C-alpha cells in the first residue's frame, strides 16, 4: 500500500469533474419533480444531449455551441414527454421509461458517424491570482466554465425555489395542482416549462460526459448516470443543497475508491466498489430524517376539468 | 383523450405490420445476445462484425437478430428465452455472465442450439467458445515493459474471472521479462462497459504515475483519457481501436469471430452441429494482433512480432516455467507449460504482482 502516490489536489479536482454530469441532470430533475412531474426519462435526455452536443461541437469546432445544442436537444426530447403527459394525459412513469428507450435509440442513430472522432477541447478557465493559490487554486479555480455554470445553477435553483414568486408558484403547482389551478395559475404551462428546463439540464450533463469527462462519443455512454441522478433527487429529499452534496459524495467516493485500488490499499475491492452507492445513500437518508417529503402532487395527472 | 387513442392505434398498427415478419419460416435464424451496445468500438462491436459476416456469407438463407446491452443476470434469461421463443435456431450469448442463464434456457429449448462465449459449462445443445486472449496479452505485456519510463503499468480490469486474471498474469510475466523493474497497478472497475468509469479509472492510474494503460473493459474511453493526458501508451482491446493510432494506441488485440460464426451457422444448416468446447488463439486466427505503430521502437516491434510468431507456431507458450504463484509457492517447473484446465480456472496471481484478487 502506498497512499503517498495519491495526490489530493488531483483527486479533489477529478472529484468535481466526475460529479458534474449527475449534478446537472439531478438539479434539472429536481425542478421537474418540485413541479409535480415525475420524468423517468433522464437517461434518455442525457444521452441525447451527449450526442447533440458532441455532433455540433465537432462540426462547428466550438464546445460552447455544442453545449448549447445539447441543452436544446435535451429540452426538445423532454417536450415530447411534456406533450404526452401534459397534453395527452398519458401515464408519467410509462412515458418516462419510453423516453429513455427512445433517447438511447435515437442517440445511437444520430451518433453513427461520430464514433472515434475527437471533440474540440473545452478550454479550462485560467483565473489569474485565484488559480495560483496553492492547493485551493488547482482544486477550485482550474476547471472549465461548465463546472461553475453547474454550481451557479444549483445556487440559482435553490434561491429561486426559496425566495422568488416564480419558485412559490412552481412549488404550489407541485404540492397541490387543483388549488394552484383554482388560484388562476397555469398548471400545465408551468409544468411544461419545468420539464423543458429539466431536459436542458440533463442534456448539458450528457454533453459534459461526451465533451469533457470521457471525451468521445460511444453508444450508451451514459451507462446509467441518469438513473443515479434520479435516485439522487429522491435521497436528497428534493432539496438543491443536498443534491450538490449527494453528487459530490457519489462522484468523490467513486474517484477515491478507484485511486485507493490503484494505490493497492488493503480494503477488499468489493467494498470499495459498492462504497459510492452505500455512502451516498446512507448520508442522505440520515439527513432526510427530518420532515422532508415528496411534493404532494408528484406523478399525478392534472386536467382542469377533473 | 382523442390523441391518446390515436397514438394507441398507431402503436397497434406498427405492431400488426411487424407480426407477419415473425411468422414466416424455412430460413435459419441466428440470434445474438450482446452485453454492450454494438457501437462500443470494442468487444460487442467485433461480435456484431461476426454477425454481419454471417449475413454476408449466407445471404437470404439466414436471418440474424440481436439484442444489445443485455445486463448479466436475471434479465439475460428473459432476453435469451424471448429470442428462442421467436424461432431462433442458433443463439450466441457473448459474455461470461450469460453462462448460467444460457444453460438454464437451453434446458427448456432442447431443439435450439446455444453457443456461449468465454464460459466453461456445456450441455448437449450448448457449446462454449473462446479465444486465447492471453497470447495477445503476452505480446502487449512485452511492449508495455519496454515502453514504460515510469516503470508503472496501469491495468483496468473488469470482473475477477479467470479470463481477466489470465490476461493480467500473461501481461505481467512478459512485462517483467522485458523490464525487471516494472510494477502493475490494477483497478477492478466491476463493469464491462461504462465509458465514464473507465475514463475515471484511467485517469486515476495516470495520476498515480502509470504511463502505459492496459484495459480489459470494452469501450475506447481509456484511449481518450490517455490521449488527453498525453504521453501515455494504450492498447486496443477486443477491437483494433484504430481511431487512436498511431499514439496513444500502439497495438491491439483483435477478436476475429467471423470464421467461427460462419462455420457454426453452416453446421446448423447441415444438421452436423455438435456440442463442443473451442479455445482458439493466434494460430487459428481467432486472436489477431493489430498493427504495431511507429511509436514503438523498431527493435521492440521486431521482438514483439517474433514472440507472436513463436506463439502461433506453438514453439512458445506464454505460461512457461519457471513460474511461481504470488504467495511464493511453485507453480510451473523450468520448461513446463500450463495445462488448459489450470488456465481456464485461473484464480491466482503470479509472483511479483501486488494486491489481492477480489473473491
Residues B269-316: pLDDT tens digits? 999 999 999 999 999 999 999 999 999 999 999 999 999 999 999 999
Claim to verify: residue B163 and residue B38 sit in the same structural domain: no
Measured distance CA(A206)–CA(A26) in Å, rounded? 12
Query: Does the beta carbon of A269 lie under 8 angstroms from any beta carbon of chain B?
Result: yes
Q: What is the grid cell recorded at A58? A: 465537432
Claim to verify: residue B299 and residue B313 sit in the same structural domain: yes
A21 to chain B: closest CA residue: B196
Q: How confident is the model at residue B261 (pLDDT cuts 50, 70, 90)?
A: very high
Q: Bigger pLDDT: B9 or B92?
A: B92
Q: How confident is the model at residue B149 (pLDDT cuts 50, 70, 90)?
A: very high
Residue bearing cell 418540485: A34
**Is B2 within the bounds of a domain?**
no
What pLDDT is attached to residue A304? 81
Q: Which residue range forms the structural domain that includes residue B163?
A: 134-247+289-344
**Is A296 within the bounds of a domain?**
no
**Is B56 within the bounds of a domain?**
yes
Claim to verify: residue B208 and residue B262 sit in the same structural domain: no
Q: Bigger pLDDT: B17 or B181?
A: B181
Nearest to A229 by CA among A21, A64, A17, A71: A21
Residues B218-229: pLDDT tens digits? 888 999 899 888
With a cut of 70, say whether residue B1 has pLDDT above it.
no
With a cut of 90, say whether residue B4 has pLDDT above it.
no
Strands B277-280 and B233-236: unpaired
Does B204 sit within 8 Å of A258, measured CB to CB?
yes
Among B165, B196, B203, B212, the strongest candidate for a mutation testing the A interface, having the largest count of A CBs within 10 A, is B196
Based on the structure, what is the number of domains in chain A? 1
**Is B355 within the bounds of a domain?**
no
Nearest to B167 by CA among B351, B337, B349: B349
Measured distance CA(B49)–CA(B81) in Å, rounded? 23
Q: How far is B357 from chain A (nearest CA, A)?
A: 8
What pLDDT is attached to residue B90? 95
Does B39 sit within 8 Å of A218, measured CB to CB?
yes
Q: Which of A7, A104, A258 sits opposite B200 (nearest CB)?
A: A258
**Is A56 within the bounds of a domain?**
yes
What CATH number did the domain enclosing A253 receive?
1.10.3470
Q: Which of B38, B41, B203 sits opposite A14 (nearest CB)?
A: B203
What pLDDT is attached to residue B17? 43
Nearest to B241 by CA among B259, B224, B225, B257: B224
Nearest to A43 by CA among A56, A27, A60, A26: A26
What pLDDT is attached to residue B31? 95
* Helix (H) or strand (E) segment spanning residue A159: helix A145-163
Q: Give the HSE-up count for residue B333: Cα atoms under 13 Å, Cβ half-sphere.
A: 0
B8 to chain A: closest CA residue: A90
With a cut of 60, say whether residue B20 has pLDDT above it.
no
Claim to verify: residue B193 and residue B121 sit in the same structural domain: no
**Is A293 within the bounds of a domain?**
no
Claim to verify: residue B268 and residue B317 sit in the same structural domain: no
Q: How far is A305 from chain B (nearest CA, A)?
A: 12
Secondary structure class of B227 (helix, strand, coil): helix
Dihedral sign computed on CA atoms, order B191, B193, B195, B199: positive
Can you list the alpha helix ranges (DSSP code H) found in chain B? 2-23, 43-58, 74-85, 99-108, 133-147, 162-178, 195-207, 221-229, 258-270, 298-312, 340-344
- A-chain CB neighbours of B194 within 8 Å are 223-224
Residues B240-250: pLDDT tens digits? 888 888 889 99
Claim to verify: residue B219 and residue B331 sit in the same structural domain: yes
What pLDDT is attached to residue B21? 44
User: Per-residue b/e over B146-169, b at no fewer than 16 CB within 10 Å?
Assistant: bbbeebbbbbbbbbbbbbbbbbbb
What pLDDT is attached to residue B25? 58
Long-range pairs for B20-24: beta carbons < 8 A, 24 or more residues apart: B22/B86, B22/B87
Measured distance CA(B284)–CA(B19) in Å, rounded? 41
Secondary structure class of B132 (helix, strand, coil): coil
**Is A298 within the bounds of a domain?**
no
Q: What is the grid cell recorded at B105? A: 434456457
Claim to verify: residue B165 and residue B68 sit in the same structural domain: no
**Is A15 within the bounds of a domain?**
yes
* Helix (H) or strand (E) segment spanning residue B152: strand B152-157
**Is A292 within the bounds of a domain?**
no
Q: How is A239-290 classified by DSSP, letter by letter? A: -HHHHHHHHHHHHHHHHHHHHHHHHT-SS-HHHHHHHHHHHHHHHHHHHTTS
User: Per-residue b/e over B243-255, b at no fewer than 16 CB within 10 Å?
Assistant: bbbebbbbbbbbb
Dihedral sign computed on CA atoms, order A69, A75, A81, A84: negative
Based on the structure, what is the number of domains in chain B? 2
Q: How is A55-94 classified by DSSP, letter by letter? A: HHHHHHS-HHHHHHHHHHHHHHHHHHHHIIIIIS---HHH
**Is A301 within the bounds of a domain?**
no
Claim to verify: residue B48 and residue B169 sit in the same structural domain: no
Greatest alpha-carbon span in chain B: 80
Measured distance CA(B303)–CA(B142) in Å, rounded? 8
**Is B199 within the bounds of a domain?**
yes
Cα angle B296-B298-B301, degrees, rounded to a multiple of 5 = 65
Query: Does the beta carbon of A101 lie under 8 angstroms from any beta carbon of chain B?
Result: no
Q: How far is B120 from chain A (nearest CA, A)?
A: 24
Does B195 sit within 8 Å of A273, measured CB to CB?
no
A111 to chain B: closest CA residue: B39
With a cut of 50, say whether residue B169 has pLDDT above it.
yes
**Is B198 within the bounds of a domain?**
yes
Measured distance CA(B34)–CA(B98) in Å, rounded? 9
Claim to verify: residue B182 and residue B234 sit in the same structural domain: yes
Measured distance CA(A224)–CA(A220) in Å, rounded? 9
What pLDDT is attached to residue B12? 46
Claim to verify: residue B186 and residue B97 sit in the same structural domain: no
**Is A46 within the bounds of a domain?**
yes
Q: How far is A144 from chain B (nearest CA, A)?
A: 15
**Is B197 within the bounds of a domain?**
yes
Q: Which residue range forms the structural domain that includes residue A109?
A: 3-287
Claim to verify: residue B74 and residue B109 sit in the same structural domain: yes
**Is B223 within the bounds of a domain?**
yes
What CATH number did the domain enclosing B176 receive?
3.40.50.2300
pLDDT tens across the length of chain A (306 residues): 466 777 888 888 888 888 999 999 999 999 999 999 999 999 999 999 999 999 999 999 999 999 999 999 999 999 999 999 999 999 999 999 999 999 999 999 998 888 878 888 888 777 777 777 777 777 777 788 899 999 999 999 999 999 999 999 999 999 999 999 999 999 999 999 999 999 999 999 999 999 998 888 988 888 889 999 999 998 888 999 999 999 999 988 888 888 888 888 778 888 888 888 888 888 888 877 776 788 888 988 888 876
Q: What is the pTM of this model?
A: 0.83
Does B224 sit within 8 Å of A258, measured CB to CB?
no
Measured distance CA(A214)–CA(B201) in Å, rounded? 11
- The torsion angle over the Cα atoms of residues A78, A80, A81 and A82, rounded to 10 degrees, is 90
Claim to verify: residue B101 and residue B21 sit in the same structural domain: yes
**Is B55 within the bounds of a domain?**
yes
Amino acid at each position: 500500500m502506498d497512499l503517498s502516490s495519491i495526490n489530493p489536489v488531483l483527486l479533489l479536482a477529478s472529484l468535481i469533474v466526475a460529479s458534474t454530469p449527475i449534478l446537472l441532470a439531478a438539479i434539472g430533475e429536481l425542478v421537474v419533480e418540485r413541479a409535480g412531474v415525475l420524468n423517468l426519462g433522464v437517461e434518455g435526455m442525457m444521452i441525447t444531449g451527449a450526442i447533440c452536443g458532441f455532433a455540433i461541437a465537432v462540426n462547428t469546432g466550438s464546445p460552447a455551441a455544442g453545449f448549447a445544442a445539447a441543452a436544446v436537444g435535451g429540452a426538445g426530447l423532454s417536450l415530447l414527454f411534456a406533450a404526452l403527459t401534459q397534453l395527452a394525459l398519458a401515464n408519467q412513469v410509462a412515458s418516462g421509461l419510453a423516453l429513455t428507450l427512445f433517447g438511447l435509440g435515437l442517440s445511437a442513430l444520430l451518433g453513427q458517424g461520430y464514433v472515434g472522432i475527437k471533440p474540440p477541447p473545452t478550454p479550462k478557465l485560467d483565473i489569474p491570482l485565484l488559480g495560483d493559490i496553492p492547493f485551493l487554486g488547482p482544486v477550485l479555480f482550474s476547471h472549465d466554465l461548465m463546472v461553475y455554470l453547474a454550481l451557479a445553477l444549483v445556487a440559482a435553483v435553490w434561491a429561486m425555489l426559496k425566495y422568488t414568486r416564480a419558485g412559490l408558484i412552481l412549488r404550489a403547482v407541485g404540492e397541490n395542482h387543483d388549488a394552484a389551478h383554482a388560484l388562476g395559475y397555469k398548471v400545465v404551462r408551468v409544468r411544461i416549462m419545468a420539464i423543458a428546463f429539466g431536459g436542458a439540464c440533463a442534456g448539458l450533463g450528457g454533453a459534459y460526459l461526451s465533451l469533457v469527462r470521457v471525451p468521445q462519443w460511444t453508444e450508451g455512454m451514459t451507462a446509467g448516470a441518469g438513473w443515479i441522478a434520479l435516485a439522487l433527487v429522491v435521497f436528497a429529499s428534493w432539496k438543491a443543497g443536498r443534491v450538490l452534496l449527494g453528487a459530490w459524495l457519489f462522484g468523490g467516493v467513486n474517484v477515491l475508491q478507484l485511486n485507493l485500488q490503484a494505490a493497492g490499499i488493503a480494503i477488499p475491492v468489493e467494498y470499495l466498489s459498492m462504497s459510492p452507492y452505500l455512502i451516498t445513500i446512507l448520508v442522505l437518508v440520515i439527513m432526510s430524517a427530518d420532515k422532508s417529503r415528496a411534493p404532494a402532487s408528484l406523478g399525478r395527472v392534472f386536467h382542469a376539468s377533473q | 383523450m382523442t390523441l391518446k387513442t390515436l397514438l394507441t392505434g398507431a402503436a397497434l398498427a406498427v405492431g400488426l405490420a411487424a407480426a407477419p415478419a415473425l411468422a414466416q419460416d424455412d430460413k435459419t435464424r441466428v440470434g445474438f445476445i450482446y452485453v454492450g451496445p454494438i457501437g462500443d468500438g470494442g468487444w460487442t462491436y467485433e461480435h456484431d462484425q461476426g454477425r454481419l459476416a454471417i449475413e454476408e456469407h449466407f445471404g437470404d438463407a439466414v436471418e440474424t437478430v440481436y439484442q444489445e446491452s443485455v445486463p448479466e443476470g436475471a434479465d439475460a434469461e428473459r432476453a435469451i428465452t424471448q429470442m428462442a421463443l421467436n424461432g431462433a435456431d442458433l443463439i450466441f450469448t457473448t459474455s461470461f455472465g450469460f453462462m448460467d442463464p444460457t444453460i438454464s434456457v437451453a434446458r427448456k429449448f432442447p431443439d435450439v442450439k446455444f453457443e456461449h462465449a468465454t464460459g466453461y459449462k456445456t450441455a448437449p445443445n450448448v457449446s462454449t467458445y473462446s479465444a486465447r486472449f492471453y497470447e495477445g496479452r503476452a505480446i502487449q505485456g512485452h511492449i508495455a515493459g519496454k515502453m514504460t519510463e515510469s516503470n508503472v503499468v496501469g491495468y483496468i480490469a473488469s470482473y475477477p474471472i479467470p479470463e481477466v486474471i489470465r490476461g493480467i498474469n500473461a501481461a505481467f510475466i512478459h512485462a517483467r521479462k522485458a523490464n525487471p523493474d516494472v510494477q502493475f497497478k490494477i483497478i477492478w472497475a466491476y463493469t464491462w462497459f461504462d465509458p465514464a468509469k473507465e475514463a475515471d479509472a484511467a485517469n486515476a492510474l495516470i495520476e498515480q504515475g502509470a504511463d502505459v494503460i492496459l484495459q480489459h473493459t470494452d469501450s475506447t474511453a481509456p484511449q481518450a483519457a490517455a490521449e488527453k493526458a498525453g504521453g501515455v501508451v494504450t492498447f486496443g482491446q477486443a477491437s483494433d481501436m484504430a481511431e487512436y493510432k498511431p499514439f496513444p494506441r500502439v497495438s491491439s488485440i483483435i477478436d476475429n469471430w467471423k470464421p467461427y460464426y460462419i462455420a457454426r451457422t453452416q453446421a446448423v444448416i447441415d444438421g452436423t452441429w455438435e456440442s463442443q468446447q473451442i479455445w482458439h488463439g493466434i494460430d487459428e486466427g481467432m486472436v489477431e494482433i493489430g498493427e504495431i505503430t511507429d511509436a514503438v521502437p523498431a527493435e521492440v516491434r521486431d521482438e514483439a512480432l517474433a514472440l507472436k510468431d513463436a506463439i502461433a507456431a506453438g514453439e512458445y507458450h506464454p505460461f512457461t516455467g519457471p513460474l511461481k504463484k504470488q504467495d511464493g509457492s511453485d507453480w510451473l517447473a523450468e520448461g513446463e507449460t500450463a495445462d488448459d484446465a489450470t488456465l481456464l480456472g485461473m484464480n491466482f496471481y503470479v509472483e511479483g504482482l501486488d494486491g489481492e484478487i477480489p473473491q
